Each structure stands twice: as C-alpha cells, then as structure tokens.
Structure 1
Amino acid sequence: MSSISKHPYHPIIYVRGFAATQSEIEDTVADPYMGFNIGSTKARVAWTGDVKRFYFESPLVRLMSDHKYQDVFVEGDDLVAAEHSQLRIPYQCIVIYRYYDEASQDFGDASVTPPIEHFARGLDRLISRLRDKVCANPDNGVSPDDFRVYLVAHSMGGLVCRAFLQNPELGSAPARRAVDKFFTYATPHNGIDLRIVRNVPGWFSFGDVNNFNRKRMAGYLALPEGPDVSRVVNFPADRVFNLVGTNARDYTAVRGLSAWAAGEASDGLVRIDNATTHGLDAQGNEVSSPRAFVNRSHSGYYGIVNSEEGYQNLTRFLFGGMRVDGHLDIDAITLPTEVRKELDAGHKVRASYQFEIVVTLRGCQWEMTRRMAREQSAIFRTFDALFPVDADGRRTPDRRQSPHLFSAFLDPGKSVKASKSISFGFDLKVLVPDYEVDGIAFLKRHYEGGFIYRDLILVEAIPDKEAPSGWRAKYGFQSTNPGKPGISATGHDMNQMENDPDGLRFEIPIEQNTQPGLRGRLRIEARRWA
C-alpha cells in the first residue's frame, strides 16, 4: 500500500493559535489537544418552532466518529514524541503541535517565548518525526516518499505553517513536500490592523504581538516588505483554504476591547480583508486561495474552530472529490430612471453595489459560505469598476471585476441520491446601491434593504456517460420551481474549460428587466479535487 491507496485520509497536524499571556500559555499546555477538542452548545430553532439545544462535539471528536481518525495519546504518552515506545502510530491519525510547551512553566522556560521562526523549525521536525514513525509501522505500508500530511491551523498557527512552508531557512524540502493541503481558520495572513494605529506596530512586543506586524511578517515569510504579506510562495496557493470569520460582536476577549479595535468588518480580531491568501497554483497561474465566509467570531463559544460550518468546510476541502466555483459575469446594470436622467443631463453620477451570497449543499443544513451586507462581508463593487470607460468613451464590462461568489468542495461519493448526482444551492442578492449625483446622496424612491436581483438558484450535476465531459448539469430558480433544479432547464453539457483539461463549466443566464435592472451570466466551474 501507499499514501495513494489511503487517500484522502492522510495524517492531520493541528497548529493552535496565539497565546498572549503566561496564564494563557499555561492553560494551553494543560490541554492535550490545545483547543481542537472544544465544542459548543447553542440554541437552534427546530421544525416545530421550539428552541432546542444543538451540540457540536468539536472537530477532533467528529473526525474520530465520522472519519475514523485516531489520536496519538496512549497510556499517558505522546507516541510521536516518545523515544522507545513499542506502540505503533496508525496512518489515519491526528497530531497536535504543542509548540507552546517550551514557553510554559512546567515543560520549558517561562521567562522567554521563542520566536515564530523557532516554532516553524519545530513544525519541520514534527513532520519529519511523524513521517519516520508512521512509515516504521508495517501495518501502514507507506514509504517516506509516499507519506503525506494535512496542516490545519487556527489564527497565528497559520502563520507558523506559512513560515515553515514559505521560508527555505525554516524547513527542509522533504518535510515541505509531504504537506498535501493546508487549511486555516481565522489566520491574519496580512497582519492585524487596529482602529487607531492600523497595523500592529513592530515595536509593540508585549506577548509577541509584533508577530502580526507586516514588516516582521515579511521577514519570517520570506517576502519583500510592503503592504501585502498574504502571498503564498513555495506552495500552491490553491491547496490553501481560508475560513474567514465575520462575527465581531461575539468576540469577548479583553472585555470586548479587541472587537472594538479590530472593527466591524472582522471576526473580533482579524479583519476580513486580512484573512485570505493568494499566489500561484500548481500550473503557475496567479490565483486567489479558495475561501469561505462564516458568521463566527475569532474564538470562544461562538468561535470559528468549534463550529459546524468550520467542520463542514474543513472535511470537504480535505476529503472531497470536486471543487466548484461560481462567478457572476455582469453584462449590464441599468440605473433608475431618475438617476439616468441626471446622468444624461451631464451631472456626475456615482453608484456602488453589494453582492450577497449564501451557499448550501443538498443534505446539509449548514451554510458553507455566507457573505451579507449587514455582517460587513458582502462583495463590493463600484459602477466605474464594473464598467470602466474605454478609449472611445464607451463603458464596457471589465471581466477582471466579475465577482467571485464562492468556492465549494463536494463529495460525489456521499450523494443522497441513487444517481450519484451532486447538488447545491446559492442565494444571490444584488443590493440596490447608494447613488450620488454631484456628490450628494440621491434618495428619491430609495428603500433601505431593497435589491436589484434576488433568487435561490439550485444546481445539480449528474454523471452521464453519453455527455462529452461525462457530466450533465441542470438548474432551476426557487422563484419559479421551489426545491427542484432541472425543471426550467432540462440539461446542459458541462464543457471543458480552456487551458484546464480537468475543468468543466456551464453558464446560467441572469436577467432582471427592471429599472434599475441587471443582465449577466452565472459562470459555474467544476474541477476534480484530490
């Protein structure tokens, strides 16, 4: 056997987030799983209308119960760290990187916390040691060259992983090659910005908070200094998933001071704009890393790690078999009649638009991604950006500004239908923009919360041996066919994408013939994912 035969269930290494004070460090090291075992109990409205408790057992417990993972703690020992244990480590295991042990009173030197570069080198050693132990177990049947591992990290843990992956001085090439995928919860990939001082100052060394200063980050991430340190190098950016929190309200650290300082468009600590990465994919194309947005805070009982939404995105990214991306290509947006008259009369008109998107999967009651204006996470575009003026004075669509609505990872092997089809729905809403005429808000016939377009669009992809691509797609609109994709469209071939032999695509026409109105196409792209 090899890691290929065991795919997709490679070992998982969890890397926890930042601990600012000595007491937080001591609490951290006292927990064998460093927070990956923390669940939550919250209220949920049942179908009866009653409010009932909902229990999320924790990512650790769910990985064990749903996917048969095992931890490496046996009879009081950590089997990875143990020197002479006769017990064998299974391939499908969960390992906790306990990098704060060295800064604790019980296991290290509490007088100094090692720098993030030291933690990155420690991750390199952990991966190498895990590889040797796993490959030494004959039951696993895996050679060192075949060994693969997943990195799963929260907050600063994601920066520890990036430092290891990106900086050649902080990790060995064999250990980096072993990393197959990298999932981050609420990681400040582009640093932490505060209301008053913007980026955390480099001189602010209390609790090593300067780890989130962009100049300091550029050093350990092996990037040039500048305003953007979210670029992934030396690792494919499309193999990195960013889960972004949008709930600042429920983050209570420092009695709410952190949430106030970070601002509304954040998870209470990390601003939404700073929580994502980009770089080159395996083919050398410039891409944004796949990401999802969930209404969760940075940590705590409403935290992003101990959430069902986080778990669903994590397991589908690690174990799923298909990636689906949705883009909205806008051909035209019409202005209200009154605003159009002002524009035709020579007045200066400005407009901005917000695009809301919620994605759900068939058979799953949780939202995989959620971007809403009232949660400060909607996609924002101006009219001028969508339709710039060309050299002839005409406004033409700029496809580079087409909103990327979502990335979703699906598992065709777990279809709830005998046909093995996969299905998902996305609620798309284009909010009525704010109009300005000569710099003054234009509020005639304005209704707050109104929208240009809104519909729930249901898509089903069906395996079809007779289709050129092997798949056929159906779609339907909730407004005309509640709950049933495929009535308003009986089937479309999914065509191969240009420059991507493994990619398929099809388009859904979108048209709202009103004033204001919208005309465009939803471009759905699907790729094999392994």
Structure 2
Amino acid sequence: MTHHYPIIYIRGFAMRASERDETAADPFCGFNVGSTVYRAVESRNKLADKMVFESPVVRLMSEFQYQHVYQNGFDIMDGDWQPARDENGNVIPGIAPASIIILRYYDDGSDLLGDGRSRNVLEYAQKLNEVILTVRQRVAEYLHNGQQVMPEADFKCYLVAHSMGGLVARAFLQGAPLGLPHAYTEARATVDKFFTFATPHNGIDMLGMNVPYWFTAAQANTFNRNYMRDYLNLGNLSPAFNGRVDLIPSSAFPINRVFCMVGSNRGDYEVLKGAVRAFVGHGSDGLVRIDNASLWGVQTDPHGALVEGSQQPAATAYAYRSHSGYFGIVNSEEGYQNLTRFLFGDVRVDVYLEVSSVSLPQEVQDAVDDGRTLEAGYQFEFRAAPKGKRWFLTRRQSVEDSPACRSHEELTQPGHGPCTVYLSSVFLAKRAKVDKSPALSYAMAFAAKVPDYVIERRFWMDGHFEGADLFRGTAIVELTPPADAASTSPWHVKLWWLNANIDAVEAQVLFSANTPSFDIRLPFDQPDRPGISGCLRLTVQPWA
C-alpha cells in the first residue's frame, strides 16, 4: 500500500547573510524552483534541450494532491498559526497527511527575520525534531468526514533534503544533544524514508583537501570530516573506514529506507563565476564530489562496534545535473522521478555487476607471466531509462566522471569468487506507465570499458584504442505484477539483451515474508582478448 505521509523538506547551505535572507524570503526555500533546460549530452558547447520541469512543489501538488501548510501568513511553527477553513467557513482541524512542510532553519540566521548569525548544525537538528513532533500533532488533529485520519501512533513522515540539509537530517537521525542521548528517539521513530539530493555525506573537498575544522565562518566546518564524525556519532566506526563518515548504523536508521541522488555535471555550477567548481575539480556536481555523495549502512553490535562485512550501499541514482542552478539536481525531472518513485513506487530493483573473469591482451598477459607489474583500472557504465521517456532514472558514464571503477587486482583476486560491484537502484511505479501493457518496463545500457594498461609504470600503447569497450549491450527488463494483486500470485520477470545471441532470462516469483526479494541474473560474455565475462544481477522486491 502506498502512503502519502508528510514531506519535510530541508534545504542546503547558505553561507552569506544575503543568501540566508533570500532563503528566509522564500516560502518553500527552493523546493518551488523549476527549470526549462536539460543537457542530453555532456558538452556545454551545444545548446541545451528544452524540457519544462515545473518544480517539485508544483508536481507534488498536481500529481499526488499534496498541500502546503501556510495559513493567513503563518507557518505551523508560528504561535499564531490557525488551520484552514472549508468553503462554508468551518475550521478544518490540523493538516492533511499529504502535506509539504519546510524546515525553515535559516529564518533566525537571516537579517530579515533574525539576528543574521548562522547557527550550528546541532541546533538545526533540534529544530527538525521540534518540527516533526509538531507535524505529528497537527496531522493527528486532521479529520475527514468527522473521522481521524492518522492517529499519533500511526504517524510517519518523509525527510527530503538538499545538500547540507541531508547532514541536518543525519545529525538528527544519528546524533543527539550533549547529555541527552534519547532526546530524539520519539521523533526518529516516525521517519519512514530519507531522500537526499547532492548531500556531501563524506564532507566537501577542495583542491584535494577536506574543508578544515578551523574554517568556522558561517559554520563552513560543518563539512569537515573530523567534526562530522562527532556530530554524526561515528567515533567508533569512522576509523575502520579510513576516516570516512558516509556511514549510517542500522541502529540509527535502516539503510534500505535511504536514497541518495548524485549529480555529475560540474560544468554548469556557476557559483562565484565557476571558481568553486574549479577548486572542487572533476568527478563532482561542481561542489560535492561524486564519491562523497552517497551513504553506506553498517551493522553494529550491542557495544557499538562494527560487524565485519555488514556494509550495504544506500539506493543510489546518478544524473547529469549540477549542484544547483538552471541545470540543478533538485529542480530536475530526473531528481523528481527518483524522489516520487522512491516515496510512492511499487517495485525496487537494485542492480549489481558480477565479474567472473577478465582477460588481458596477449602481449600484456605475457608481461604479467614474466613477473612484470601491471596496473589497470576498469570503468563500468550504466544507464536505465523507463519506456517512453526522454530522461534517465540513472546515468553513469565515463565522460561524465560517474562510472563504477575497479582495479585489475580487485577483479582477479584468487579464491574470492566473482567480484561484485553495485551499479544503481531503480524504482518503478504503475502510475508512470505509458501504454496498456501490464508490465513495468525499462531499458538498461551497460558497458565495460577497455582500461589503460600500465606495465612497470609505463603506459602500454600497442593495440590500445581510447574509448573502446570490452563489452557493451542494452537489455530490456519487464516486471509484470499479478493481475489480481493477490499476495498468493507470482510476478513474472523477464530480461534479455538486444542484438545479442543470448537467450532471455525469465522467472515466476512469488514474494512472501520468507522471500521478500529475488535475484535474477543476465549473463554476458566477451571471450576474445581483451575480454570480460559475468552477469548483471537484479535484486527485485515489491516496494511500499
């Protein structure tokens, strides 16, 4: 069953007082910004394509009947707020569950509504706690035909955040006020799903260095990993991951209820006339590096120590979008589609690459057999697009600095079986179908690129063709739910490569408490040298 719980939106970082003023003056803090431009290719020398995206707020209201909660010029956190009235002037108590609430954490730090002083991320987390509890109360007050719609005991909410807003949410989910470890427990239990747009989960790096701890201007050290380790309560876990902080323990929030939307278009991030993107460098959205923008879930024992081998990636998708601006990730069709499919979709598909073997050019193999050292980095591209659409649900390409990467050593470790690489997650929704077919369908394009072979620290040029593929193919995925929607009826899953002499793979899947998900594998093989063989593994599960 799909629920339309309240969406609490948390915007990103505003460094200068003028930016905080702009945020305070905007009722929806940027969630109401749309766009009419789209880059189908990575080149900025070509004109953008026209694609009208009205804004997340407008689309959520028109497609899912969400409502805002402002009344008579007041927010629900204001003491003078009063509920809406119907066409006869009667009070409609509370707010509907399908409401959009903005965490207005920059109001107090603006010159327009406050003292112009930025606050600490921990203060913003406390404010989020207060907002959630207030929203729960207001939703419990809401009546439809005289009946309570959602009692406090049944209340849930969605957290949706852009950039630093995701760190505010994580400080709430993972941290706590000093000396009050259980202060947020009640509100945390109400969070059903957590979605982030371009959040620097592992901090922000410029010129190859993490933002320093001493850089406290406007709380910019919020993105320092040492400080993040403290306010995210990762002191016991971060050292085991070389100081990384893109971790969320299962005791704080389940990783399978988290989605990370990652941008890869640095070229259109125009802050400070492009200086910021120059400092951040390639492999970013202009501000946040791609490898810092997703999350990993980990299991801990009762003492808070890491359970070895428990790492699991959050659902992640990639888009050729910049951190913000005309080509920004929040004001994009790709971001919105992933958001709504994650919140309200019907099927979840996590896509993994399993590499069984790789072969080298004969001359390179001879050098390895002679005991010479080899360095080779493999790049894996992946795209997924639903039927009848102009955009991708996820887009990982080498030219956009977003492929999955593994070394030759990682792919060929003896005795470890196939090397598994997480590629992306795709959520499908029945309401998004474009034809009468009962199947939920999408195409996925996969490519394994020929690496640069480096022998004894010298690039091997003989036989090298830049941009060549070890394997490239496009597959179709069809997921057909049972016609009667009964839990005792199976799903039909079918996938096949286009233009390849490989049989389609089909399965009847009956999901149950004992079988909540199902793995189906689509093999591929390039037997010639250099070559690769393996499969794409799709983990399919109903979603709600």
What secondary structure, in the 3-state scheme, does the structure 2 residue paired with 1:502 have?
coil
Is the 2:39–2:320 contact (alpha carbons within 8 Å) kept by the matching residues of 1?
A: no
Deviations 1:242-289 (A, max 9, x none): 111111111111221211111111111111111111124899954111
Aligned to 2:529: 515
Is the 2:32–2:58 contact (alpha carbons within 8 Å) kept by the matching residues of 1?
A: yes
2:504 counterpart of 1:489: yes
**Paired residue type of 2:226:** K
Residue 479 (structure 1) shift: 2.2
Residue 517 (structure 1) shift: 1.4
Cα separation, 2, equivalents of 1:58 and 1:248: 21
Cα separation, 1, equivalents of 2:463 and 2:509: 42
State which of 96, 110, 124 in structure 2 corresponds to 1:104: 110
2:36 counterpart of 1:41: yes
Aligned to 2:469: 451
- TM-score, normalised via structure 2 length: 0.87
Cα separation, 2, equivalents of 1:36 and 1:173: 28
Residue 415 (structure 1) shift: 3.7
Aligned to 1:113: 118
State which of 127, 131, 134 in structure 2 corresponds to 1:129: 134
State which of 178, 190, 194 in structure 2 corresponds to 1:178: 190
Is the 2:162–2:330 contact (alpha carbons within 8 Å) kept by the matching residues of 1?
A: yes
Judged with a 3 Å threshold, the aligned counterparts in structure 2 of structure 1 residues 322 and 282 are, in CA distance, closer, same or farther, namely farther
State which of 143, 153, 157 in structure 2 corresponds to 1:145: 153
**Paired residue type of 2:441:** S
Cα separation, 1, equivalents of 2:300 and 2:57: 30
Aligned to 1:391: none
Residue 364 (structure 1) shift: 2.9
State which of 477, 490, 501 in structure 1 corresponds to 2:497: 477
Is the 1:331–1:397 contact (alpha carbons within 8 Å) kept by the matching residues of 2?
A: no
Is the 2:38–2:327 contact (alpha carbons within 8 Å) kept by the matching residues of 1?
A: no
What secondary structure, in the 3-state scheme, does the structure 1 residue paired with 2:356 have?
strand
Deviations 1:450-478 (A, max 9, x none): 01100111111223589997122222222
Is the 1:462–1:472 contact (alpha carbons within 8 Å) kept by the matching residues of 2?
A: yes
**Paired residue type of 2:166:** G
State which of 503, 515, 523 in structure 2 corresponds to 1:501: 515
What secondary structure, in the 3-state scheme, does the structure 1 residue paired with 2:108 have?
helix
2:19 counterpart of 1:24: yes
2:453 counterpart of 1:435: yes
Cα separation, 2, equivalents of 1:215 and 1:282: 21
Cα separation, 2, equivalents of 1:254 and 1:467: 55
What secondary structure, in the 3-state scheme, does the structure 1 residue paired with 2:278 have?
helix
**Paired residue type of 1:476:** W
Matches within 5 A, 1:59-458: 59-83=56-80, 85-87=82-84, 88=93, 89-110=95-116, 112-139=117-144, 140-169=148-177, 171-195=183-207, 198-224=209-235, 226=239, 227-233=243-249, 234-280=252-298, 286-388=311-413, 395-399=414-418, 401-412=419-430, 414-458=432-476
Cα separation, 1, equivalents of 2:124 and 2:81: 25
Is the 1:247–1:295 contact (alpha carbons within 8 Å) kept by the matching residues of 2?
A: yes
Is the 1:80–1:133 contact (alpha carbons within 8 Å) kept by the matching residues of 2?
A: no
Aligned to 1:12: 7
More displaced stretch, 487-496 vs 255-264: 487-496
Residue 131 (structure 1) shift: 0.8
**Paired residue type of 2:215:** F
- TM-score, normalised via structure 1 length: 0.90
Judged with a 3 Å threshold, the aligned counterparts in structure 2 of structure 1 residues 467 and 164 are, in CA distance, closer, same or farther, namely closer
Is the 2:119–2:219 contact (alpha carbons within 8 Å) kept by the matching residues of 1?
A: no
Residue 84 (structure 1) shift: 5.3
**Paired residue type of 1:130:** V
Is the 2:202–2:246 contact (alpha carbons within 8 Å) kept by the matching residues of 1?
A: yes
Cα separation, 1, equivalents of 2:514 and 2:423: 20
Aligned to 1:392: none
Residue 15 (structure 1) shift: 0.4
What secondary structure, in the 3-state scheme, does the structure 2 residue paired with 1:247 have?
coil
Is the 2:496–2:505 contact (alpha carbons within 8 Å) kept by the matching residues of 1?
A: no
Residue 20 (structure 1) shift: 0.4
Deviations 1:427-452 (A, max 9, x none): 10100011122221111111111011
Deviations 1:312-344 (A, max 9, x none): 110011111211011121111111122223233
Is the 1:495–1:506 contact (alpha carbons within 8 Å) kept by the matching residues of 2?
A: no
Cα separation, 1, equivalents of 2:200 and 2:293: 5
Cα separation, 2, equivalents of 1:519 and 1:447: 20
Aligned to 2:89: none
**Paired residue type of 2:534:** G
Cα separation, 2, equivalents of 1:301 and 1:506: 39
Identity of aligned residues (%): 40
Judged with a 3 Å threshold, the aligned counterparts in structure 2 of structure 1 residues 468 and 122 are, in CA distance, closer, same or farther, namely closer
More displaced stretch, 174-183 vs 418-427: 418-427
Judged with a 3 Å threshold, the aligned counterparts in structure 2 of structure 1 residues 469 and 280 are, in CA distance, closer, same or farther, namely farther
What secondary structure, in the 3-state scheme, does the structure 1 residue paired with 2:393 have?
strand
Unaligned runs of 5+ in 2: 41-46, 85-92, 302-306
> How many residues are matched?
507
Residue 303 (structure 1) shift: 0.8
What secondary structure, in the 3-state scheme, does the structure 2 residue paired with 1:63 have?
helix
Cα separation, 2, equivalents of 1:384 and 1:13: 44
Cα separation, 1, equivalents of 2:370 and 2:49: 58
Unaligned runs of 5+ in 1: 389-394, 482-486
What secondary structure, in the 3-state scheme, does the structure 1 residue paired with 2:153 have?
coil
Cα separation, 2, equivalents of 1:469 and 1:506: 18
**Paired residue type of 2:404:** I
**Paired residue type of 2:520:** F
Judged with a 3 Å threshold, the aligned counterparts in structure 2 of structure 1 residues 176 and 425 are, in CA distance, closer, same or farther, namely same
Aligned to 2:43: none
Residue 86 (structure 1) shift: 4.1
Q: In angstroms, what is the RMSD of aligned CA positions?
A: 2.7
Is the 2:276–2:287 contact (alpha carbons within 8 Å) kept by the matching residues of 1?
A: yes
Deviations 1:25-45 (A, max 9, x none): 111111111100111122678
